[in-house]
Amino acid sequence: MNLQQIIEQLELTILTEPRDFASIYPVGGYTSDLLSCVMAGAKGNYIWVTLQSHLNIVAVAGLLEVAAVIITENAQPDAATIAKANEQGVTLLSTPKTTYEIDGRLWELGIRLPA
Amino acid sequence: MNKFCADLHVHTVLSPCAEVEMIPPLIVQRAVELGIDLIAITDHNASANVSAVQKAAAGSSLKVLAGMEVQTREEVHLLCLFDSAQQLEAWQASVDAALPDERNRPEFFGEQFVVDEYGDYIRTEPRLLLTSTRFSIDEVFERVTALGGLALPAHVDRAANGLFPTLGLVSEQWRLLGFEISRHITPAKARAAFRSIGNLPLIQSGDVHRLDEFAASTFFTLAERTVEEICKALKGEGGRSVAVQSGADK
């Protein structure tokens, strides 16, 4: 399943500049709102699900080269955060759904963990 | 007793998020220009530039306290202030052992420079400072207090790493003497928004990452400019006190 399909299936709002989402195939996911845990636990090409929306998420997402960040419960990053994400090539997606529901839906769509 | 204008939360170029202008002579010059009598140097999980700023302030009207802004495993930031270099050294050794052994990536987080009192480059700190130690908030209070220092929750109103947005509540276990609020809220608004503040005193700081970010709005009445005296002021002991005044009524 590619990122374009995930965006459509979960009805996610794209906050950053459009990219070729159909060419991005996430290999797993990670969920936490503690950035230090994310730095230790998430990996490249994972989807990171969080309700944090402040600027520091971009540094962590860029560092790890995650496939995308899904920001839940309509938490809104400010303009500086979105600008920084565009600069770093980080994709920020938004949803009104809770982290619990997004994780469940991702798992159903087959985004689990690499073997 | 004297009244002192204080800003107890100042970063240097050792903090990856601070601007390159945050070097000892410029920090001292700017603080003196603003009529500030007392600052604390509080880099993220680090203290290697404290003595350089203290040297840069020698002979000036400014007193520079030793400090650090530590990040707990709950991702809450606490100011830790000390009177002596020995206390700071002991605290730094604990923090070093509690920091994950990861490298800083300057392209994502920024550079971490140790400098001398002139602001000249000495070395680059290789470890990742912008992350959590293994210490819980409980442990930070316990350890800093045991060393004779002061621990204060930093910018408690801020969404990123502030106590209330991050954790919500306070614990009876902490030896809380007060809270720091950011430049972006008034004491009255902070007290209304965060009931857990209760009757404890507030200080306001610039969380200075750039020279134009000093708050200069906290005034202590103290016998001398020490952490010990600040603790007494927060407890309201012996005629010592603390007040935050906004720009208008300063």
CATH code (residue B89): 3.20.20.140
Q: What does the block give as tokens for B244?
A: 């935050």
Who's near B102: CB < 8 A, 6+ residues apart?
Answer: A39, B127, B128, B131
What is the spatial distance between Cα A98 and Cα A33, in angstroms, rounded to a whole number? 13
What is the spatial distance between Cα A67 and Cα A29, in angstroms, rounded to a whole number? 9
Q: Is the pLDDT of residue A15 over 90?
A: yes
| CATH number of the domain located at residue range(s) A3-43+50-108 in this protein | 3.40.1390.20
Q: What is the predicted pLDDT for the residue at A115? A: 83
Q: What does the block give as tokens for B170?
A: 């306070």
Mean pLDDT of chain B: 96
What is the spatial distance between Cα A43 and Cα A61, in angstroms, rounded to a whole number? 9
- What's chain B's length in residues? 250
Nearest CB neighbour to A63, from listed B100, B108, B160: B108
Q: What is the predicted pLDDT for the residue at B172? A: 87
Q: Residue B208 gets which letter from DSSP?
A: B
Q: Is A54 on the interface with B (CB under 8 A)?
A: yes
| B133-152 mean pLDDT | 97
Q: Is A56 on the interface with B (CB under 8 A)?
A: yes
Instruction: Say if CB B92 and CB B77 are below 8 A apart.
Output: no
Q: What is the predicted pLDDT for the residue at B156? A: 97
Domain with B231, as residue range(s), is 2-249
Higher pLDDT, B171 or B93: B93
- Choose among B70, B12, B6, B66: nearest CA to B209: B12
Q: Domain ranges for chain A, please list them.
A: 3-43+50-108
Helix then strand count (H, E) for chain A reads: 5, 5
ipTM score assigned to the predicted complex: 0.76
Nearest CB neighbour to B160, from listed A39, A56, A62: A56
Q: Is the pLDDT of residue A59 over 80?
A: yes
> pLDDT tens-digit profile of B69-89?
999 999 999 999 999 999 999
What is the spatial distance between Cα B140 and Cα B45, in angstroms, rounded to a whole number? 12
What is the spatial distance between Cα B186 and Cα A110, in angstroms, rounded to a whole number? 49
Q: Is the pLDDT of residue B44 over 60?
A: yes
pTM above 0.95, yes or no: no
| B95-119 mean pLDDT | 95
- Helix, strand, coil abundance in chain A, percent, nearest 5: 40, 15, 45
Q: Is B51 on the interface with A (CB under 8 A)?
A: no
What is the spatial distance between Cα A18 and Cα A24, in angstroms, rounded to a whole number? 12
| B193-218 mean pLDDT | 97
Q: What is the predicted pLDDT for the residue at A36? A: 87
* pLDDT confidence band for B249 (50 / 70 / 90): very low
**Number of domain units in chain B:** 1
Contact residues, chain B, for A32 at CB < 8 Å: none
> pLDDT tens-digit profile of B45-68?
999 999 999 999 999 999 999 999
What is the spatial distance between Cα B15 and Cα A19, in angstroms, rounded to a whole number? 33
Token pair 């007793």 in the structure block, residue: B1
Q: What is the predicted pLDDT for the residue at B247? A: 54
Q: Which of residues 75-114 of A touch B (CB under 8 A)?
A: 88
Instruction: Say if CB B39 and CB B5 are below 8 A apart.
Output: no
How many CB atoms are located within 10 Å of the residue B117 CB?
Answer: 18
Nearest CB neighbour to B131, from listed A36, A62, A88: A36
Instruction: Say if CB B103 and CB B124 are below 8 A apart.
Output: no
Q: What is the predicted pLDDT for the residue at B248? A: 44
Angstroms from A59 CA to nearest CA on chain B: 5
> pLDDT tens-digit profile of B209-234?
999 999 999 999 999 999 999 999 99
How many CB atoms are located within 10 Å of the residue B56 CB?
Answer: 24
Q: Residue A25 gets which letter from DSSP?
A: -
Sign of CA dihedral B156, B157, B163, B169: positive
What is the spatial distance between Cα B16 and Cα B204, in angstroms, rounded to a whole number? 22
Is B84 strand, coil or helix?
Answer: coil
| B227-243 mean pLDDT | 98
Determine phi and psi for B164, rounding to 5 degrees.
Answer: -75, -50
Range B182-210 burial, b when 16+ CB lie within 10 A, else e: bbebebeebbeebebbeeebbbbbbbbbe
Nearest CB neighbour to B132, from listed A36, A54, A63: A36
Q: Cβ contact (<8 Å) for A34 and B102?
A: no
